[in-house]
């Protein structure tokens, strides 16, 4: 049924700024602890620090870019279901510009450690010489700037357009959001793909996989939907977003299920093609990760990212049970953490798992800061776009 002519009859909700300040300073304090420990690592064991930091950074970046993807998808497809929850995706995505600072120490201090091509003179490796047009210092810097301009620019533009609608309720903002989103879709795809190639695939410049970008994207989209479920549930617990009901949970659960399957599909396809073709240049990636201590973690990842959540999320009852869905969401985010651990750290510890305090410190530093910025964003805007012309459709959602 169409309700587009009825007025939503929902009052404006604004997150308590005192509580937000308290939360964000707690998060920043945690981040400072992580930063201090990481700083010790930077000076005492730079190798370990470099890989740990890249791991923590990519985990947080993928969560934020995933939320940017959901924001873009929502507007590009003219969706109505998620207008109530859209602002939270926008809030998470708008943390991306801050993250650019967290990547700087890697380029400034650790580039030759992480990316072996960085200091290799021409003529040493024919493979690298052929890739030199892409893998060189200047272009690497240009790309770093371009990624954050592209991703961060669209995140900020989408959020500010959406917030402008809170002021006047004009429908032109909806059309502008749609245009921005359709423009942002290819930009986001290209930025995330090439960032994944530059920063993660570049850990071994011999290795390549044509599915790498979409693999990183699949994990990002699924885990950021899980993050959204947690944020929405948290806000509901705090007494906000009463209009969000089980129908919204059902849809968010469906997206989690879809991207659980999509991740498995992409991860399997990548593995299958490399395993079957059996070319040493390509198999090295899985050879390291499927032997020694890494094999156990890889097995846990395959079971935990697909075989456990899939049958659970398959049933409507679990998707319509917020408590249960939150547990699954936590699990999926933990698996995203494990995924990026397995992507980054084996490049350093090729002979087996070797956890380090800097692994935890980097996650604490980057995730803490991101959460701190998120709480600031949360308090600086209405909790949902209360004057979106189609808000009532989202409130009266049935699916």
Partner 1 sequence: MSQHRKVYGLGAEFNSAADLMHAAEKIRDAGFAKWDVHTPFPVHGMDKAMGLGKSWLSAAVFCGGFTGALTGISLTTIPSFFLYPMIVDGKPYSWPTVPAFFPIIFELTVLFSAFTALFTLLLLNQLPKWYHPVFNWDRFKRATDDGFFLVIEARDAKFSESRTKALMEEIGGQNVTLIHD
> Nearest approach, Cβ of 199 to partner 1 (angstroms)?
27
* CB of residue 80 to partner 1, shortest distance in Å: 12
Q: Which residues bind partner 1 (CB under 8 A)?
A: 1, 268, 271-272, 275-276, 278, 314, 316, 398
Cα angle, residue 398 at apex, residues 253 and 228 outer, rounded to 5°: 30
Nearer to partner 1, 206 or 295 (CB): 295
Q: Which residue, chain included where needed, has tokens 């279901």? A: 81
Name which of 1 and 133 has its Cβ closer to partner 1: 1
- Least distance (Å) from partner 1 to the CB of residue 126? 28
- Least Å distance, CB 303 to partner 1, is 13
Rg (the chain; Cα; Å): 21
Residues 6+ apart with CB under 8 A from 166: 381, 382, 385, 386, 387
Q: Round to whole Å and give the CA distance between 55 and 38.
A: 13
Kindly list the distances between the CA atom of residue 258 and the CA atoms of 120, 225, 302, in Å, as whole numbers in the listed order: 42, 11, 16
Residue closer to partner 1 by CB (options 11, 210) is 210
Dihedral over Cα of 271, 273, 278, 284: its sign: negative
**Rounded least distance, CB 85 to partner 1, Å:** 20
Alpha helices in 77-208 (DSSP H): 83-93, 96-105, 111-114, 126-131, 137-168, 172-199
- Name which of 304, 387, 396 is nearest 13 in CA terms: 387
Nearest residue (CB) to partner 1, 24 versus 318: 318
Name the residue nearer to partner 1 (CB basis): 175 or 268: 268
Select 124 or 316, whichever has its Cβ closest to partner 1: 316
- How near is the Cβ of 273 to partner 1 at its closest, in Å? 10
Residue 131, exposed/middle/buried by CB under 10 A (0-12, 13-18, 19+)? middle
Minimum separation from the CB atom of position 212 to partner 1 (A): 18
Exposed, middle or buried by CB within 10 Å (0-12, 13-18, 19+), for 242? exposed
Of 52, 90, 85, the closest CA to residue 71 belongs to 90
User: Residue 133 or 277: which CB sits closer to partner 1?
Assistant: 277
């Amino acid at each position: 049924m169409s309700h587009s002519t009825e007025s939503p009859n929902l009052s404006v909700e604004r997150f308590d700024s005192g509580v937000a300040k308290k939360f964000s300073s707690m998060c920043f304090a945690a981040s400072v602890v992580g930063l201090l420990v990481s700083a010790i690592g930077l000076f005492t064991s730079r190798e370990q620090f470099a890989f740990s930091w890249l791991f923590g950074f990519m985990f947080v970046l993928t969560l934020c870019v995933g939320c940017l993807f959901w924001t873009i998808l929502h507007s590009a497809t003219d969706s109505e279901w998620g207008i109530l929850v859209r602002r939270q995706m926008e809030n998470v995505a708008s943390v991306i510009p801050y993250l650019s600072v967290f990547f700087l120490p890697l380029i400034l201090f650790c580039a030759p450690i992480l990316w072996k091509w960085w200091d290799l003179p021409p003529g040493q490796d024919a493979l690298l010489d052929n890739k030199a047009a892409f893998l060189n210092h200047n272009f690497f810097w240009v790309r770093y700037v371009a990624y954050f301009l592209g991703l961060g620019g669209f995140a900020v533009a989408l959020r500010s357009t959406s917030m402008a609608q809170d002021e006047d309720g004009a429908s032109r903002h909806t059309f502008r959001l749609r245009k921005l989103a359709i423009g942002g879709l290819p930009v986001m795809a290209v930025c995330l793909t090439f960032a994944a190639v530059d920063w993660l695939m570049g850990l071994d410049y011999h290795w390549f996989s044509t599915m790498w970008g979409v693999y990183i994207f699949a994990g990002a989209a699924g885990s950021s939907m899980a993050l959204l479920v947690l944020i929405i549930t948290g806000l509901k617990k705090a007494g906000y977003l009463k209009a969000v009901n089980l129908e919204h949970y059902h849809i968010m659960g469906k997206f989690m299920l879809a991207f659980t399957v999509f991740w498995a599909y992409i991860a399997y396809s990548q593995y299958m093609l490399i395993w079957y073709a059996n070319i040493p240049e390509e198999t090295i990636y899985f050879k390291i990760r499927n032997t020694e201590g890494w094999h156990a973690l890889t097995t846990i990842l395959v079971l935990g990212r697909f075989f456990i959540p899939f049958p659970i999320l398959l049933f409507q009852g679990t998707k319509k049970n917020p408590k249960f869905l939150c547990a699954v969401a936590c699990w999926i985010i933990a698996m995203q953490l494990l995924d990026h651990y397995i992507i980054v750290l084996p490049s350093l510890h090729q002979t087996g798992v070797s956890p380090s305090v800097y692994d935890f410190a980097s996650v604490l530093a980057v995730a803490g800061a991101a959460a701190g910025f998120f709480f600031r964003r949360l308090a600086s805007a209405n909790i949902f776009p209360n004057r979106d012309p189609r808000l009532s459709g989202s409130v009266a959602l049935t699916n």
